[in-house]
Amino acid sequence: MKPKFEEFNDGILDICDVNGEDRLEKVKQNLRYGNENVGIIRHYAARAADTRVDRVVHILQQKDIRPHQIAVADGEQYDIEKTDHISSTMPPVTKLSLIRMEKHREREFA
């Protein structure tokens, strides 16, 4: 069976770290992404773990992205809850499970 060909045409996001002054510093910029469905199984698994998943996107595989970095897409800030590196797709992807940051927790850029 041929691997699924992934597309990255839904937008562009940046990956940021939080510095010592509680500001965002971009570590990766202009990563193209594709949206994924937050399926019912993923939704209820997150609820069972007393959390939520607001959005799931895939990007070209980036193994150095880790949970609790900040993803910025469409003007919104998201905490990266989980990263999944999948090599069985064409090209290999990293799936990011994202939780939208509450307005009072959003940070300014350095």
- Determine the pLDDT at residue 2: 66
Per the CB < 8 A criterion, the answer to whether 71 and 30 are in contact is: no
Q: Any idea how long the chain is?
A: 110
Dihedral angle sign, alpha carbons of residues 32, 64, 28, 26: positive
- Determine the pLDDT at residue 35: 94
- Determine the pLDDT at residue 44: 54
Per the CB < 8 A criterion, the answer to whether 13 and 73 are in contact is: yes
- Determine the pLDDT at residue 4: 74
Q: What is the mean pLDDT of each run of 10 residues along the chain (110 residues)?
A: 82 95 94 84 54 87 96 94 93 94 80
CATH for the stretch 11-105:
2.40.10.270
- Determine the pLDDT at residue 108: 86
Both tokens of residue 97? Answer: 């499970």
Q: Where are the domains of the chain?
A: 11-105
Residues 6+ apart with CB under 8 A from 73: 11, 12, 13, 14, 33, 55, 57
Both tokens of residue 93? Answer: 């992807």
- Determine the pLDDT at residue 106: 81
- Determine the pLDDT at residue 91: 94
